[in-house]
Amino acid sequence: MTARLIDGKALSAQLRDGVARRCSALKARGVTPGLAVILVGDDPASQVYVRNKVKACEDAGIRSVLERHDATLTEAALLARVQALNADPAIHGILVQLPLPAQIDSHKVIEAIAPGKDVDGFHVASAGALMVGRPGFRPCTPYGCMKMLESIGMTDLRGKHAVVIGRSNIVGKPMAMLLLAANATVTICHSGTADLGALTRQADIVVAAVGKRKVLTAGMVKPGAVVIDVGMNRDEAGKLCGDVDFDGVREVAGWITPVPGGVGPMTIAMLLVNTVESTERGA
């Protein structure tokens, strides 16, 4: 079997078109969605991520306000900026690009964001809402993965076994909660899991969110399974690659997401979806 590709680039373009239409409708009512992006310091990867997010906002008709701060910014000064943006009616979403410099407690900063503007979905209120099935913002990466499953007709996952590899607060855990909410039976694996392959071979859906190459190889996948690769790594040649041994696994899986062009573009699209949603809630 050669797996079919779930094309994150094409799907994210569709989602962004939808956001652009919703932005136009809001603008016709005199409301322009606004996203504040805070970048502290000069981490090169963060600069690229922020640039991509700002550009995606502009393309979709969301007004983005990029705040750049020196790496020496104090925690108190950053908290004051977040409070000011919380109170700003023209701002509907606030994103603080992580990581933050060592002198700043990132948890404190994320918890300072008003939950109604937490479009990254990292606030404990958002995590709690997801846990108890209440409305709240879903973290963009796992939310994008769910949209990828929906795009291949997998909406109700009753009777399906999903294995999530990785348990971070921003990817693995919320991913598991979203799969559970869609009625899947969910197993969460991590570095302490014994015999990962024995579990993944039982899975109808595998989501790999580890950050290590070839964590999932062909022999670990049930024929026909859906494989979603969240990982972002570099191979020996410096080329972007995921956690999945793509060439091997695509011969066994039924569906697979590529890297690049898979989960990455979906993450940005879901940030735009959350921002327009936040604006609609308040408009």
The smaller minimum CB distance to ligand NAP, of residues 85 and 139, is found at: 139
Q: Which of 7, 9, 17, 53 is catalytic?
A: 53
CA angle, 232 then 235 then 236, to 5°: 155
Nearer to ligand NAP, 73 or 255 (CB): 255
Long-range CB pairs of 119-122, under 8 A, 24+ apart, other chains included? 119/35, 119/92, 119/93, 119/94, 119/95, 119/271, 119/274, 119/275, 119/278, 120/95, 120/96, 120/271, 120/274, 121/174, 121/274, 122/169, 122/170
Task: Give the CA radius of gyration of the chain.
Answer: 19
**At which residue do the structure tokens 């099935």 appear?**
133
- C-alpha 190/C-alpha 132 separation (Å) is 23
173 is catalytic: no
Q: How far is the CB of 67 from ligand NAP (least distance, A)?
A: 22
Nearer Cβ to ligand NAP (100/171): 171
Question: Nearest approach, Cβ of 220 to ligand NAP (angstroms)?
Answer: 11
Catalytic residue among 97, 147, 222, 229: 97
Residue 54 CB burial class (10 angstroms; 0-12, 13-18, ≥19):
middle
Query: Tokens 């709240």 label which residue?
Result: 136
Known active-site residue 97: yes
Other CB atoms within a 10 A radius of the CB of residue 99 amount to 12
What minimum distance in Å lies between the beta carbon of 156 and ligand NAP? 25
- Mention every residue, 6+ apart, whose C-beta is less than 8 A from residue 24: 61
Query: Which residues would be at the binding site for ligand NAP (CB under 6 A)?
Result: 141, 165-168, 170-172, 189-193, 196, 209-212, 215, 230-233, 263-264, 267
Contact 274, 142 (CB under 8 A): no
Q: Which entry of 117, 118, 120, 243 is annotated as an active-site residue?
A: 120
Report in angstroms how near the CB of residue 169 gets to ligand NAP at its nearest: 8
SS3 call for 58: helix
Least distance between ligand NAP and beta carbon 165 (Å): 5
Q: Are 110 and 141 in contact (CB under 8 A)?
A: no
Minimum Å gap between C-beta 211 and ligand NAP is 3
Annotated active-site residue 245? The verdict is no
Q: Which residue has the tokens 């970048």?
A: 39
Nearer to ligand NAP, 6 or 85 (CB): 6
Residues involved in catalysis: 53, 97, 120
